[in-house]
Chain A
């Protein structure tokens, strides 16, 4: 270990940019064993493992880095899969540069350990070598209904199955995975990855009921009657609006809407809405990971130009740095310090252009935050054929919440106690439906902890 002194950080190899924008396949290659070993050997094995501390799941990062460095794949696989329901997913989509890699001791000039890529490698190589996640052989004779097959739902299912608790998942989409299936484009997370995990769960006895919305297709009461506990993981899929006049125009989309349409199209699934950006000028407003997904998807959908507008600069983007770089590489144009003022519509009610204004950052306030200020007289106009707003998400307040005494807070998040139990006994919730839009990893964490609490309640 401690090879950081001799070896530089090397990221997983990316596919050639010209090639990769032609399809939706993952752009990163999985490390080859030797490379993973080498990169893992760079780890300092700190007395204070900042990576582990920063990771919301408290993944046993130094431990599996050392195992993989000593070519002990099985140990690494077990260590990696112990606290995490699907490390190979997290290895691909977690914003490592803000979490583990960001807090890595070596991220002060030496180059952080490539934690994400190694995490992906461990499970992928493990699967290749016949390793599988383990679930309990013995059943405890309890059954839990899970509403929503997104990150939180799959996490809670995984950890319940490990304890021998039966689970049935009710999900309104055609396929399980929630955001991970419909929200995150395939070039970041291949759709087979989630399908594989879903298959593991099915193999372990999980029942998936797709295209089934609670409150519509099945009543909450029914669940209550037939299950020993219920977990709600319905996510935060409601896109935030800009509040600008004209934002309901036909050629204006919310990011999740847009991504889902495309994904469904790729799946050959039916979809009410349609979109076609081919040869069009696409403008995406927002600087987060979802914005990056939108711009890069637009490129793959052969847009004429793709522009990303953000009111801060690249340094202050909320998303993952590497996603920004990937987008840039692929040909996305970025305009920083610019904010939309109004949408210019034609007679058909279509957006033709956007009136923008330049912005600047104020000096940091007491909490170190820098606010955005508009610069007077810096207005300008941008032509647009398609406008996509990627401004964040809110929880969806389903009617069955209220009907069953499941309270929500003022932001619409489901209220839970420290055991993830909602205001209704026996009903648990976690993930974005409780937190509001957050990371996949925090939803996964909620799922894990809720599962523990549920199992504990059965003892």
Chain B
């Protein structure tokens, strides 16, 4: 775990600038540096303004400059030379370079010290500053250009390998075409630091530039970007899988460029200890050097989503499908710019999660950057102002001086080879060989089915809770409340091996995907067969068996086996198959070793290519190994022996009955799974009911459920394709020992150490005995009943058992200490169920008297109730908690869903206001009413997932608070659409600090290995408070597997976060809070010692007000009137303020007693004092590494500042606000303010709006009271949370997040220049969560326009993909093209789309919305409403397009579509357009 304290992730701002015709100039360099420095807010900046996380430039070699420099030493540069930029500390390193170069027929003919000025550096950068030298190298003999480049690469790889352990040594670039100038220096100081860059002779034709935001504060010189070929903004979520796969592919690669001997010297294609971006660079460079086409390599690693794109060009699809046999996507948010010297490219990930905007100018230059406005360019000089859309690529051919657009590149790639033909001839879809899939279930050879069901833990409960819902609904069942059971390692009951594995999920540095609404980018398409030489293009690669899902039917498996069976006519050598049973004898470990040895031998000697691992052999005599263990071991062993690329692993197992189990097998190497026990159980359940039912449709439904479960698990990690998920190892393993992890699951995070082979064997033997013993053969009901999901006497331990619930009810009723003691008894004697139970208090002081301890009032301040929205709980419960917490001086949390403004400034005001992904009811007044604003990045019960409030729960009140119409289903997306990366979070925090400068900004994370890294990043993004939630947190509704298998206990996350913050010297900047099943004083005290300063109570607080843990919150049938909006049930609500006060009083007093006993006077004194804990003296505890958890780092343990102040003080708007104050004070005197604005002026309008809301609430000011006229390109979040009465007119452009959360007022963006289809004036995710106001943009905008809009009216002239996603209200008019997936999850509002090209219909996500024409009699209201809005739009923007439409209204109206949700049939409700 200690490694995690200093681990890191990074995101950033990036871009490139190039002369399209390859003309070098010094201006190119200067402009690139200006552009980079104007994105400083996207990186991290320390207080000195000098220390950052690194920035850099990758430049074409400044030939003129070097010629002059070398001339000074009398050296004339040869025609052909390369320059190595070298960071080092040890002089002898240079000798090694020399030596290896010579071995490779290269000559180092000149060494140049790189002149630097260290004044430009911060303290830390100076401390780690390496020496820098440029080595000039030429070929030593007559060898071709191509060979020269190859030898340079070969030499560099050999040097790197030789000096692998030398952390100070690094070669930023070694190339004939490019050179890197990078380091731990701020963009503004880079020129100052690298003196070369000031020379006007330093002329370059292109530059890739990058500024890094690392989550840690221990950045390294070598991690600054760009790397040798790329600069990357984003995070590769599938990086573990990609790295694994590169190793597998490299096992047997043939290159035209390197001979076999040289190839064998190119060990470690991927450099270890580097970032995900560095790995992208490594692989991309490797492909390039080996002659893989530049564009092919780019699109192979970052393909457009082709699998579910029926309208994609057939040849292009063939290209992608063919390429997918060798390459899986490097998946995750990514904007990557790349170059090989001849070409420059920039590619965007399939989901458009990073911004990339380009400008082509009259002087034939192109600038691509994360933002517009990074360089001041006269509008007249701009030829084109565009942006990359999801999955698009743009390229520049420097040789021919051409810009290649996405379709140019596609056309080039798809026609290179006859891919379609190759696929037709070689690729086989299993479906082709099947008449009626799922018409049968293969027989299980022998033995009693029920015994097998018992063995595989298919209990009555599993059938009832997991399997039957899949049969009925075709999807995973929904559960509510949290998980209150122990980890598998601590359990005394039968558990599945996959229970040791906890799903990973994306938070902050990368976003999850919505697997339902954005399914278009996702795919489970699975291929089987060996992987051939990926450096070649030939028809052989297409030889694959394919299936649309990794979940196989009996027929699927049969066909795979047929193809691998020598006596079958379908047989092909490359699919030769063999089944291996996974039984074990006396020793699990030995049997495992023998099995993998056999498999290896068969692959090498017998040409086995399809390895089928099968556990059907289980019976009363034969035990089997955990399949997941076998898969992991085989996967790893084959890689270690360099044959992984040859074999496909297929699993036939009884161990899989839910998507978690399936996902874990796939993540550790399985290509496909045949879950025979699941099928058999379905059959049995169906048969037993005695009705004649066709089984095939049911099994199909079950597979569909597993498929969507897999998509959900992948999407949690932001991975879109199963190919990128396979081998990803994206699980935390809790409670298995090092040996098992090293043997089988290397690469996954492993926590706590724990059970070894013999322990697991013991458990299996017990399960086997219990499943087959005589004891149960005579049962009337043969299955085990369960108890894992719901309490069952004799089943798994539940911390909220009936007796605990009764005890809590009683003590909150009476407020008596004796009753609290009953609870304490129950909890404190539960015996080693949760991590904290393995620690005893161990004070270093004598006890003191209770009077000396701080009063309970001081402790109350540290108690908060967890976020629960009005909607998830009833108004009675919501208000009760607020009033109670306010009364004692704690805080309650509004949850996501707004709050009645009547409660603001009263005892019923929730002091914490939550900002979640749905942004429901997030208005300026809401934000202004809070003491704390909590950004919910993840939720314990279902991290990485969204949620929805079904329409029937949306009452009149809830509808009003959420700014929607009652009865409309409200969807919260999995990600915050304005947080795809750490710099995005930083931006949102900045937004919130503007609108409410008095509030603490908190970020809620969920415990997982790596959360410390995230926490450090969040602290650097200027959050004031970080919440580490336990995975056991409650919920109103979540998929049952998410409640159980995603995320870790809070203890692990808290300890990691606390220490990571300390290791990075950030602990003093932020407050830490935790939650997760806390009940007694001892829980609180232990949480404090682990590092938490405050404590949240969710389920506990609900229990106090009457919750009985019924786990039916999602049904709106809560019998105690808490989790329901049903009036009749709300009458049964029995919670009171007094009960809540009783509980917290008893709890605080319990804490005080423990403190007195420990001899400490306050909680403050014990926070982070893990030395006051000791591991219990217990044999079982010794199996685990608990000591590690109380390892204590030096440094402060609590927050030392009131606010974590951002570097950017927003002086720009504060100055505007001063001027605007007169109008705020006296609205009857409107004011007009003129200013110039630039992209560094972010969140403009939020500060003024917050000030207005402070006095006037959401009513704001009369229209146009403050009229702000701006010129230039505004920074991100223009007009965020805009209040009524403020108008912002911009001559110029905006960036991402325009009108985020706007509540009123208007934003008008119009360029001097007439826009058109290639002119963008706004970025991504505009109007996210807007509740009102108007936005007019006379140009294009980016992806996800008007996402989750619930009230704003907007007109733009074109959008990117996913427009109007999750929209619940408002009116959107688009006078131009839209991207795909229009209206996904749109449950309210309307959109008018002008569709002159007749292609719009294809772009609609037909799930919830429909499009209608508006040139009929019945639509005159809509028609003239549109006209009225267009008139207003024209008046404000002078749009030519609007004028054309208005001038020809009768004709142009025919090209309009009206899009609205299918289930909203009432006529359009025209709001007052003005």
Interface residues of A (CB under 8 A from B): 2, 4-5, 44-50, 52-54, 58, 60, 63, 66, 72, 74-75, 78-79, 81-82, 103, 105-106, 108-110, 133-136, 162-164, 366, 455, 459
**Does B481 sit within 8 A of A, measured CB to CB?**
yes
The answer to whether B464 touches A50, judged by C-beta atoms less than 8 angstroms apart, is no
- Given contacts A58-B794, A78-B781, A134-B778, whether A108 and B1120 have CB atoms under 8 Å apart is yes
**Does B800 sit within 8 A of A, measured CB to CB?**
yes
Contacts of A106 in B (CB 8 A): 1119
CA of A218 to CA of B1395, assembled, Å: 101
The answer to whether A48 touches B794, judged by C-beta atoms less than 8 angstroms apart, is no
Give B953 Cβ to nearest chain A Cβ, in Å. 14
The answer to whether B793 touches A52, judged by C-beta atoms less than 8 angstroms apart, is yes
**Does B792 sit within 8 A of A, measured CB to CB?**
yes
The answer to whether B780 touches A81, judged by C-beta atoms less than 8 angstroms apart, is yes
Chain A residue at smallest Cβ distance from B785:
A60
- Given contacts A48-B805, A134-B780, A135-B778, whether A63 and B1110 have CB atoms under 8 Å apart is no
* Residue of B464, B688, B775, B791 touching A48 (CB-CB under 8 A): B791
Give A201 Cβ to nearest chain B Cβ, in Å. 15
Give B1399 Cβ to nearest chain A Cβ, in Å. 47
Contacts of B1117 in A (CB 8 A): 2, 4-5, 44
Known contacts A46-B1112, A63-B464; 7 additional CB pairs below 8 A are: A2-B1112, A44-B1119, A48-B791, A48-B1108, A48-B1109, A78-B780, A108-B1120
**Does B1300 sit within 8 A of A, measured CB to CB?**
no
Chain B 1101-1149 residues near chain A, CB threshold 8 A: 1108-1112, 1115, 1117, 1119-1120, 1126, 1128-1129, 1132, 1134
Give A430 Cβ to nearest chain B Cβ, in Å. 19
Chain B 369-415 residues near chain A, CB threshold 8 A: none
Name A's interface SS: loop
Contacts of A60 in B (CB 8 A): 781, 785
Chain B residue at smallest Cβ distance from A51:
B802
Question: Which of A2, A106, A459 has most chain B Cβ within 10 Å?
Answer: A2
Give B1269 Cβ to nearest chain A Cβ, in Å. 58
Contacts of B818 in A (CB 8 A): 366
The answer to whether A46 touches B1109, judged by C-beta atoms less than 8 angstroms apart, is yes
Give B1043 Cβ to nearest chain A Cβ, in Å. 11
Chain A residue at smallest Cβ distance from B689:
A72
Contacts of A79 in B (CB 8 A): 460, 781
CA of A111 to CA of B801, assembled, Å: 22
Contacts of B785 in A (CB 8 A): 60, 63
The answer to whether A53 touches B460, judged by C-beta atoms less than 8 angstroms apart, is no
Question: Which of B464, B789, B801, B1126 has most chain A Cβ within 10 Å?
Answer: B464
The answer to whether B460 touches A63, judged by C-beta atoms less than 8 angstroms apart, is yes
**Does B798 sit within 8 A of A, measured CB to CB?**
yes
Chain A residue at smallest Cβ distance from B802:
A53
The answer to whether B1119 touches A4, judged by C-beta atoms less than 8 angstroms apart, is yes
CA of A50 to CA of B800, assembled, Å: 12
**Does B495 sit within 8 A of A, measured CB to CB?**
no
Interface size, B (range): 35 or more
CA of A282 to CA of B1126, assembled, Å: 52
Interface residues of B (CB under 8 A from A): 460, 464, 481, 688-689, 774-775, 778-781, 785, 789-794, 798, 800-803, 805, 818, 1108-1112, 1115, 1117, 1119-1120, 1126, 1128-1129, 1132, 1134
The answer to whether A47 touches B778, judged by C-beta atoms less than 8 angstroms apart, is no
The answer to whether B793 touches A58, judged by C-beta atoms less than 8 angstroms apart, is yes
- Given contacts A58-B793, A60-B785, whether A48 and B802 have CB atoms under 8 Å apart is yes
CA of A5 to CA of B780, assembled, Å: 33
CA of A66 to CA of B790, assembled, Å: 14
CA of A455 to CA of B773, assembled, Å: 13
Contacts of B791 in A (CB 8 A): 47-49, 53
The answer to whether B780 touches A133, judged by C-beta atoms less than 8 angstroms apart, is yes
- Given contacts A53-B802, A135-B778, whether A47 and B1119 have CB atoms under 8 Å apart is no
- Given contacts A63-B464, A106-B1119, A108-B1120, whether A48 and B790 have CB atoms under 8 Å apart is yes
CA of A332 to CA of B1129, assembled, Å: 38
- Given contacts A47-B1109, A58-B794, A63-B785, whether A110 and B1132 have CB atoms under 8 Å apart is yes
Contacts of A78 in B (CB 8 A): 780-781
- Given contacts A5-B1129, A49-B791, A53-B791, whether A108 and B1119 have CB atoms under 8 Å apart is yes
CA of A4 to CA of B1119, assembled, Å: 9
Contacts of B1108 in A (CB 8 A): 46, 48, 50, 105
Name B's interface SS: loop
A-B interface pairs (CB < 8 A), number: 101
Rank and list the top 8 A-B pairs by shortest CB-CB distance, nearest first. Answer: A47-B1111, A53-B802, A58-B793, A78-B781, A82-B781, A136-B778, A46-B1110, A48-B1109
Contacts of B1110 in A (CB 8 A): 44, 46-48, 105
Give A6 Cβ to nearest chain B Cβ, in Å. 10
Contacts of B780 in A (CB 8 A): 78, 81-82, 133-134, 162
Give B17 Cβ to nearest chain A Cβ, in Å. 59
* Residue of B689, B790, B1120 touching A49 (CB-CB under 8 A): B790
- Given contacts A48-B800, A48-B1108, A53-B793, whether A5 and B1128 have CB atoms under 8 Å apart is yes
CA of A54 to CA of B793, assembled, Å: 10
The answer to whether A2 touches B1115, judged by C-beta atoms less than 8 angstroms apart, is yes
Contacts of B779 in A (CB 8 A): 82, 162
The answer to whether A5 touches B464, judged by C-beta atoms less than 8 angstroms apart, is no
CA of A54 to CA of B481, assembled, Å: 22
Give A419 Cβ to nearest chain B Cβ, in Å. 15
CA of A5 to CA of B1110, assembled, Å: 15
- Given contacts A4-B1119, A53-B793, whether A48 and B801 have CB atoms under 8 Å apart is yes
CA of A366 to CA of B460, assembled, Å: 43
Contacts of B792 in A (CB 8 A): 49, 52
CA of A3 to CA of B1117, assembled, Å: 9
Give B1213 Cβ to nearest chain A Cβ, in Å. 50
Chain A residue at smallest Cβ distance from B786:
A63
Chain B residue at smallest Cβ distance from A131:
B780
Contacts of A54 in B (CB 8 A): 802
Give B469 Cβ to nearest chain A Cβ, in Å. 13
Chain A residue at smallest Cβ distance from B794:
A58
Chain B residue at smallest Cβ distance from A79:
B781
CA of A45 to CA of B469, assembled, Å: 15
Contacts of A163 in B (CB 8 A): 774, 778
CA of A75 to CA of B1112, assembled, Å: 24
Chain A residue at smallest Cβ distance from B779:
A82
Contacts of A75 in B (CB 8 A): 688, 781
Give A103 Cβ to nearest chain B Cβ, in Å. 8
Contacts of A72 in B (CB 8 A): 688-689
The answer to whether A47 touches B790, judged by C-beta atoms less than 8 angstroms apart, is yes
Contacts of A82 in B (CB 8 A): 779-781
Contacts of B1132 in A (CB 8 A): 108-110
Give A130 Cβ to nearest chain B Cβ, in Å. 13
CA of A50 to CA of B802, assembled, Å: 6
Chain A residue at smallest Cβ distance from B1134:
A108
- Given contacts A58-B794, A63-B785, whether A47 and B481 have CB atoms under 8 Å apart is yes
The answer to whether A105 touches B1119, judged by C-beta atoms less than 8 angstroms apart, is yes
Give B1067 Cβ to nearest chain A Cβ, in Å. 38
Contacts of A48 in B (CB 8 A): 790-791, 798, 800-802, 805, 1108-1110
CA of A81 to CA of B1110, assembled, Å: 25
Contacts of B1134 in A (CB 8 A): 108
CA of A366 to CA of B816, assembled, Å: 11
Contacts of B1109 in A (CB 8 A): 46-48
Chain A residue at smallest Cβ distance from B804:
A48
Question: Which of B481, B790, B1119, B1120 has most chain A Cβ within 10 Å?
Answer: B1119
* Residue of B798, B802, B1112, B1129 touching A45 (CB-CB under 8 A): B1112
The answer to whether B793 touches A44, judged by C-beta atoms less than 8 angstroms apart, is no
CA of A48 to CA of B809, assembled, Å: 14
Question: Which of B460, B781, B1126, B1134 has most chain A Cβ within 10 Å?
Answer: B781
A-B contact pairs, 5 of them (CB 8 A): A46-B1110, A47-B790, A49-B791, A53-B801, A134-B778
CA of A45 to CA of B460, assembled, Å: 14
- Given contacts A2-B1112, A48-B798, A48-B1110, whether A66 and B464 have CB atoms under 8 Å apart is yes
